[in-house]
Amino acid sequence: MKMKKAICAVLAALMLGVCSGCTQPYYPEYESGYYRYAVKTDEDGSKEAYLIGFTKLGEQQTEMVYPEEIDGIPVWGFGYERKLFFAYDLVGWYNTANVEKFFFPTTPKGRVNGGLALSLNHITTIYWNENFKRGDKFYTQVMSYGYNVYVSEMKQYDDLNKDRHRIANVTYLYNYENSPNGGYYWVDDYNQSVITYIPPKPEREGYVFEGWYKEAECVTAWNFEEDKTGELIKIDYAEQYDSYEGICLYAKWAVG
Give the whole-number percent of the chain exceeding pLDDT 90: 39
Asked whether the predicted pLDDT for residue 239 surpasses 60, the reply is: no
Q: Are 115 and 93 in contact (CB under 8 A)?
A: yes
What pLDDT score was predicted for residue 146? Answer: 37
The mean pLDDT of 9-36, rounded to a whole number, is: 70
Look at 34 and 7; give whichever has higher pLDDT.
34
Q: Cβ contacts of residue 37 below 8 Å, gap of 6+?
A: 29, 30, 31, 49, 50, 51, 52, 70, 75
Asked whether the predicted pLDDT for residue 166 surpasses 90, the reply is: no
Q: Give Rg (Cα) of the chain.
A: 24
pTM of the model: 0.77
What pLDDT score was predicted for residue 164? Answer: 63
Q: What's the whole-number average pLDDT of the chain? A: 78
Q: Are 49 and 72 in contact (CB under 8 A)?
A: no
What pLDDT score was predicted for residue 89? Answer: 76
Asked whether the predicted pLDDT for residue 40 surpasses 60, the reply is: yes
Confidence band (pLDDT; 50, 70, 90) for 242?
very low
Spatial distance between the Cα atoms of 95 and 153, rounded to a whole number of angstroms: 36
Look at 85 and 182; give whichever has higher pLDDT.
182
Spatial distance between the Cα atoms of 224 and 222, rounded to a whole number of angstroms: 6
Q: Are 216 and 250 in contact (CB under 8 A)?
A: yes
| pLDDT tens track for 118-161 | 455 567 888 887 777 777 778 787 665 433 333 334 444 444 45
